[in-house]
């Protein structure tokens, strides 16, 4: 079923919004936000949230979506991350227009609201230490106990909170707590912290503050101040919703957004926790946040994923209330489908094997017409140089081939893509017995790949002319982890022990067709028979692009599992 005027399948959040619009709730506005914490780079899980929040805003007439940095943890946050996050959201194809906000913009207002709670007898300064607070909190089965500081007078609390702000207490000496219910069955309601002392610089407010508001307090108020109508978040916040509502019910805010939870995206063979991704970077398991093996937006971008394919993936997996793990093959299929339509086909050899065509003239070069796409003429064509010495893929030759091997073997004939039929006449080996060269003959009558006498060959292989080839580095990637759930709690071992040692393979003497010398950073191609490749944006040089394999042509893992 489909709502609105899109063809997308519907989900429960669209249903809620449709009902709200029908009932005229929120003056019939739809206003969402994407609220990242700037303590790392965005990953594929965030893409789901971005596509949902910005997608909803785009779908509804007049809908808006804010980008808001939830920057209340100064220790871990940095402008490197705020810049990267903005670039990622834009690259994914979304626009917050003039609505870029920071929770830190509201620090003064948040402070005022905390004072309001104190004045209303709904917040107090507590001097229990962290360990005592834990003890007093109780457990899931036992109620908590009131702190001995819980009944301080409003005046005393105001004075202490003013001192907290002035920096007169040390970190951990005291904190401001909401006064709710220490016996609540929901532990989040047992007098949660509102402000804690942190004597650290904030990347935006500098040393103005030595107290910082907690997430639960900040988030609902930020939503309310921005006039958010539907505050979409992941399921782990479900138990925090009563607190979200409690704060807004106590305070004189004009809007009371509705928090709606959905299941987070989990992808197998990788990790999607910023803390773990950060560890991979800082411990040197990968080359950085933008390592093409990382499930980060910037890593996937460098690997060659398109924004369209990521958006398509996020739509296909849907929005539900139950946690599931999506097979990374689904993501790979989305990118394959997109690249199949949009990339030019070119020839390149990753593991070159030399072929000398004995009956071809010594100094001749022929330029053969080759279309860039088999069924999209608008992509045009290029001229491929053909000459006496070419290279083919080592895998396309077997000295003692089985019957069903339709490629090169002694005495066997194959078609060279866009060129001629060749027949292998002689195999040349080095002293160690490795095949280092093939001597072949070509049939001049088969130019373009067909024999006038109607004789057929079953195999067509790719090739590159030696004299014209671009010699460069090509990188092949495999899954970052060997285990489908590297961070699962069932594993006793350290999650990093499941890293795949073969996740990166460099081919430093790949030979590619000469048209690729001009390929620009992030340009994408299909190397025929080998997969989709993208020009690396970091390590490429002028006339020497380095290529990253985005994905193979077919899902080799699915085949293996069969
Ligand atoms: P992480 O667990 O990776 O540290 P986070 O939730 O702490 O992620 P935030 O920067 O707070 O990271 O996330 C911004 C938004 O993205 C939040 O609304 C969060 O719910 C959402 N989000 C984060 N991870 C996922 C995920 N795996 N699937 C869907 N949404 C996610
Ligand atoms: Mg978070």
Ligand nearest to the CA of 279: 1
In ligand 1, the atom with minimum distance to the C-alpha of 50 is 16
CA angle 359, 360, 365 (to 5 degrees): 180
CB of 8 closer than 8 Å to CB of 51: no
The strand pair at 421-429 and 413-416 is best described as antiparallel
The SS3 call for residue 227 is: coil
Asked whether 272 lines ligand 1 (CB < 6 A), one says yes
pLDDT at 556: 62
**Among protein residues, the one whose CA lies closest to atom 27 of ligand 1:** 45
Q: Is 182 in the pocket of ligand 1 (CB under 6 A)?
A: no
C-alpha–C-alpha distance, residues 523 and 508, integer Å: 19
- Nearest ligand to the CA atom of 275: 1
CA atoms of 189 and 177, how far apart (whole Å): 11
408 vs 417: CA distance, rounded Å: 13
* Per-residue DSSP letter, 373: S
Best mutation site among 33, 34, 45, 68 for ligand 1 pocket (most ligand atoms within 8 Å of CB): 45
User: 532 near 341, Cβ under 8 Å?
Assistant: no
Query: Between β-strands 531-535 and 547-551, what pairing exists: parallel, antiparallel or unpaired?
Result: antiparallel
Q: What is the CA(332)–ligand 1 centre distance, in A? A: 22
Evaluated on CA atoms 528, 533, 539, 542, the torsion sign reads positive
Is the beta carbon of 265 within 6 A of some atom in ligand 1?
Answer: yes
Q: Which residues contact 421 (CB under 8 A, 6 or more apart)?
A: 413, 414, 415, 442, 443, 446, 449, 451, 457
Query: Which residues are identified as catalytic?
Result: 37, 264, 274
Both tokens assigned to 84: 């990267």
Q: Name which residue sits closest to atom 4 of ligand 1, judged by CA.
A: 274
103 in contact with ligand 1, CB cutoff 6 A: no
Q: Is the CB of 82 under 6 A from ligand 1?
A: no
Burial class (CB in 10 A: 0-12, 13-18, 19+), 19: exposed
As a whole number of angstroms, the distance between CA 328 and CA 561 comes to 14
Looking at the CA of residue 48, tell me the nearest atom of ligand 1: 29
Query: Phi and psi for 161 in degrees, rounded to 5?
Result: -65, -40
Two structure tokens written together for 145: 């106990």
Residue 234 CA: which ligand 1 atom is closest?
20
Q: Ligand 1 centre from 260 Cα, in Å?
A: 14
Q: Is 481 exposed, middle or buried (0-12, 13-18, 19+ CB in 10 A)?
A: buried
Mutate to test the pocket of ligand 1, among 13, 49, 219 (most ligand atoms within 8 A of CB): 49
Cα dihedral 288/290/296/297 (nearest 10): 160
Tell me what pLDDT residue 9 has.
67
Which amino acid residue places its CA nearest to atom 25 of ligand 1?
Answer: 45
CA–centroid distance, 359 to ligand 1, in Å, is 63
Assess whether the C-beta atom of 281 lies below 6 angstroms from ligand 1: no
For ligand 1, is residue 36 a contact (CB within 6 Å)? yes
Query: What's the CA-to-centroid distance between 242 and ligand 2, angstroms?
Result: 18
pLDDT in tens, the chain (562 residues): 344 445 556 899 999 999 999 999 999 999 999 999 999 999 999 999 999 999 999 999 999 999 999 999 998 888 999 999 999 999 999 999 999 999 999 999 999 999 999 999 999 999 999 999 999 999 999 999 999 999 999 999 999 999 999 999 999 999 999 999 999 999 999 999 999 999 999 999 999 999 999 999 999 999 999 999 999 999 999 999 999 999 999 999 999 999 999 999 999 999 999 999 999 999 999 999 999 999 999 999 999 999 999 999 999 999 999 988 999 999 999 999 999 999 999 999 999 999 999 999 999 999 999 999 988 999 999 999 999 999 999 999 999 999 899 999 999 999 999 999 999 999 999 999 999 999 999 999 999 999 999 999 999 999 999 999 999 999 999 999 999 999 887 777 899 999 999 999 999 999 999 999 999 999 999 999 999 999 999 999 999 999 999 999 987 655 555 4
Return the residue whose CA atom lies nearest to atom 13 of ligand 1. 36
Q: Which of 484, 478, 39 is nearest to 282 (CA)?
A: 39
- Residue 557 pLDDT: 59
Contact 165, 207 (CB under 8 A): no
- For residue 259, how far is its CA from the centre of ligand 1 (angstroms)? 15
Q: How far apart are alpha carbons 119 and 532 in whole angstroms?
A: 63
Cα(255)–Cα(249) distance, integer angstroms: 10
CB of 38 shorter than 6 A to ligand 1: no
Residue ranges and CATH numbers for the domains of the chain are: 12-262 (3.40.50.620), 268-344+472-561 (2.40.240.10), 348-462 (2.40.240.10)
What is the pLDDT at residue 491? 78
From residue 71, give the alpha-carbon distance in Å to each of 83, 169, 181, 218, 231.
Answer: 13, 23, 28, 10, 17
Q: Does the CB atom of residue 153 touch ligand 1 within 6 A? A: no
Tell me the whole-structure pTM to 2 decimals: 0.95
The span from the CA of 460 to the CA of 408, in Å, is 10
């Amino acid at each position: 079923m489909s709502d609105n005027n899109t063809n997308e399948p519907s989900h429960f959040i669209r249903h809620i919004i449709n009902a709200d619009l029908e009932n005229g709730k929120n003056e019939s506005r739809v206003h969402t936000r994407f609220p990242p914490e700037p303590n790392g780079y965005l990953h594929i899980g965030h893409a789901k949230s971005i596509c949902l929040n910005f997608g909803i805003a785009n779908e509804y007439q007049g809908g808006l979506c804010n980008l808001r940095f939830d920057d209340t943890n100064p220790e871990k946050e940095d402008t490197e991350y705020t810049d990267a996050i903005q670039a990622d959201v834009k690259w994914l194809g979304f626009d917050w227009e003039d609505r870029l906000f920071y929770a830190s913009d509201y620090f003064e207002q948040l402070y005022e609201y905390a004072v309001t709670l104190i004045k209303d007898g709904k917040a107090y300064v507590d001097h229990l230490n962290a360990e005592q607070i834990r003890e007093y909190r109780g457990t899931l089965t036992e109620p908590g106990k009131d702190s001995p500081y819980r009944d301080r007078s409003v005046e005393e609390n105001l004075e202490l909170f003013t001192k907290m702000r002035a920096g007169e207490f040390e970190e951990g000496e005291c904190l401001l707590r909401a006064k709710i219910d220490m016996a609540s069955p929901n532990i989040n309601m047992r007098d949660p912290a509102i402000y804690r002392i942190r004597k650290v610089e904030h990347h935006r407010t500098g040393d103005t503050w030595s107290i910082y508001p907690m997430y639960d307090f900040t988030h609902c108020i930020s939503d309310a101040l921005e006039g958010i109508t539907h505050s979409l978040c992941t399921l782990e916040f479900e138990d925090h919703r009563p607190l979200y509502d409690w704060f807004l019910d106590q305070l004189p805010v004009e809007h009371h957004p509705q928090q709606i939870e959905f299941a987070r995206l989990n992808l197998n063979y990788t990790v999607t926790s910023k803390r773990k991704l950060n560890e991979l970077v800082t411990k040197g398991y990968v080359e950085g946040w933008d390592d093409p093996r990382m499930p980060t937006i910037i890593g996937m971008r460098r690997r060659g994923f398109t924004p369209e394919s990521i958006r398509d993936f996020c739509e296909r997996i849907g929005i539900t209330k139950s946690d599931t793990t999506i097979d990374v093959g689904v993501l790979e299929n989305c990118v394959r489908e997109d690249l199949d339509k949009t990339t030019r086909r070119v020839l390149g050899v990753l593991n070159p094997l030399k072929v000398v065509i004995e009956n071809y003239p010594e100094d001749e070069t022929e330029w053969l017409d080759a279309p860039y796409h088999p069924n999209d003429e608008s992509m045009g064509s290029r001229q491929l140089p053909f000459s006496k010495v070419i290279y083919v893929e080592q895998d396309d030759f077997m000295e003692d081939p089985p019957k069903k091997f339709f490629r090169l073997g002694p005495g066997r004939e194959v078609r060279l893509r866009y060129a001629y039929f060749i027949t292998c006449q002689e195999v040349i080996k080095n002293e160690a017995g490795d095949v280092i060269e093939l001597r072949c003959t070509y049939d001049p009558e088969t130019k373009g790949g067909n024999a006038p006498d109607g004789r057929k060959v079953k195999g067509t292989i790719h090739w590159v002319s030696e004299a014209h080839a671009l010699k460069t580095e090509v990188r092949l990637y495999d899954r970052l982890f060997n285990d489908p759930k590297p961070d699962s709690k069932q594993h006793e071992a350290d999650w990093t022990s499941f890293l795949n040692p073969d996740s990166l393979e460099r081919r430093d003497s790949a030979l590619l067709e000469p048209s690729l010398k001009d390929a620009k950073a992030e340009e994408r191609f299909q190397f025929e028979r080998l997969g989709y490749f993208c020009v690396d944006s970091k390590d490429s040089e002028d006339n020497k692009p380095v290529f990253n394999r985005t994905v193979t042509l077919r899902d080799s893992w699915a085949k293996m599992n069969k």
